Amino acid sequence: MTPTGEIIVPVETIPQEDVVVSEDSVTVPEEAITVPEEDFTAPEIVSPLIETNGTVAIIDEETNTTSTLDVGPDTGGIAVGPDGTRAYVTNINNNTVSVINTINNSVEATINVGNYPSGIAFAGENAYVTNVNSNTVTVINTINNNVIGTINVGEKPGAIAVAGEKALVTNINNNTVTVINTINNNVTATINVGERPAGIAVAGDKAFVTNANSNTVTVINTINNNIIGTINVGSYPTGIAVTGDKAFVCNANSNTVTVINTINNNIIGTINVGEYPAAISIIGNEAHVTNFNSNTVTIINTINNNVISTAPARNIPVSTTGHCVCVVPVPKPPCPTCPCPTCPTVPKCPAANFTSNLILVVKFTDLSKDATRWYWTFGDGTNSTEQNPIHVYSKPGSYRVNLTVSNSNCTITKSNVVNVCNNTSSIR
């Protein structure tokens, strides 16, 4: 209390964010941010349905009809069966394949396969499923949904495509493609390709393989299994899809799509899309590119290679042509290369920084008797119904504070002026 009878109420100060500390003032020991090598040398397998809430749109191009399926967050690859009425969905976390009726959206069967099933493709009446952690391919008879074979392939098989009587499987860790004879399910060849083969698509008698770490596309003659070309594309090519005489390649780290003429293997265009494009699906004359970090889908006109639109990633379109919308491998880049390269699911390195400023805080204590309700007005246009509120003023000054208390009998108001300054506040 002052000599004049004023009551002095201390003002609590809370540091806030206005004083910037330069980054070099904070030293972080190197060992605190070093990621062990094994955490990022092997790519992570990421579903093309990331950020879509597990929703796909099955599009029948012949009838121009669309049905929407909810396939869940564990989806790896998706392909529609030969008759167009059933979608086969690999469930990466429970090691199964779901058979979904595309007409009524019901699950007709659940098939146990290998560990971490990802890619899927059809050859006649059989479905071929790549099991990433088992290093195998499961063969399913789609007539009765029975497993009729398990084929050993390379290490970390991911994407798969069918060319005639052959199924070609990318082995991410071996840098190879395994060729399977779909008549007898025997392995007939192993082809060396680039580093980290990610996606694969077939155009006529050619297979195009994206090599993520090599920034190239390997072209394979599917008749004799010979390599007939290597095409330099953007940084970290992953997903790939073919339509007509064009191949569209997602370059995840370049945020572009490379367009390749599949007849002469020349690049005929580069299209800017969203951030970290990885998965791609082609429906009619449109290529739908999923941009993982942008959470968007870029739609490209495949005739003139122009971007038609960019939309939120609500679902992934899947054609009834039997082509797989497959998972893609995503690298875990090393930190502490701050900031970390753009990629989904990988936390960025921290950046130490803070600011502060003085906040004028006044704590009000109710001294009323027999009150059951409280209503405070703080003189700055704000109010509170708490009994003992703590209030923050934006600037020093004199404020008239009113406390109205009541019970079932009556209502009484008390008014005081509060002087708020940088060091103290007074009530008079």
In this predicted model, what pLDDT tens digit does every residue of 70-85 receive, in sequence order?
555 566 777 777 777 7
- Amino acid of residue 138: T
- Asked whether the predicted pLDDT for residue 179 surpasses 50, the reply is yes
Q: What is the pLDDT of residue 121?
A: 87
Q: Average pLDDT for residues 110-135, to the nearest whole number?
A: 89
8 A C-beta contact, residue 90 and residue 350: no
Please say if the pLDDT value at position 304 is more than 70: yes
Q: Could you tell me where in the chain the CATH 2.130.10.10 domains are found?
A: 44-330
Q: Which of 9-13, 75-79, 150-154, 160-164 has the lowest mean pLDDT?
A: 9-13
- Separation of first and last alpha carbons in the chain: 10
The CATH class that applies to domain 44-330 reads mainly beta
Alpha carbons 81 and 290: distance in angstroms, whole number: 23
- pLDDT tier for residue 326 given thresholds of 50, 70 and 90: low
Query: Which whole number is the average pLDDT over 157-174?
Result: 90
Mean of all residue pLDDT scores within the chain: 77
Residue 29: predicted pLDDT: 41
What is the pLDDT averaged over residues 336-344? 42
> Over the stretch 136-159, which tens digit does the pLDDT of each residue have?
999 999 889 999 999 999 998 988
CATH topology of domain 7-20+354-427: Immunoglobulin-like (2.60.40)
User: Which residues of the chain are in CATH 2.60.40.10 domains?
Assistant: 7-20+354-427
Give which of 237, 242, 240, 268 is closest to 255, Cα–Cα. 237
Task: Give mean pLDDT, residues 20-32.
Answer: 39
**CA separation, residue 151 to residues 200, 282, 331 (Å):** 19, 29, 26
pLDDT of residue 402: 93
> Counting runs of H as helices and runs of E as strands, what totals does the chain give?
0, 37
Q: Residue 215 to residues 22, 233, 252, 300: CA-CA distances in angstroms? A: 37, 6, 10, 22
Tell me what pLDDT residue 16 has.
Answer: 41
Q: What DSSP line would sit under 168-195, residue for residue?
A: EEEETTTTEEEEEETTTTEEEEEEE-SS
pLDDT tens digits for range 218-237: 999 999 999 999 999 999 89
pLDDT band at 282 (very low <50, low <70, confident <90, very high): confident
pLDDT at 52 over 90: no
Residues 84-103 have pLDDT tens digits of 778 788 887 788 888 888 77
Query: What's the mean pLDDT in 11-19?
Result: 41
- For residue 33, the model assigns a pLDDT of 35
Instruction: Note the pLDDT of residue 6.
Output: 45
Least confident of 53-67, 133-147, 199-213, 360-374: 53-67
pLDDT value at position 153? Answer: 95
Residue 281 pLDDT level (bands cut at 50, 70, 90): confident
Sequence-distant (≥ 6) Cβ neighbours of residue 185 within 8 angstroms: 139, 149, 151
> Does residue 341 have a pLDDT over 70?
no
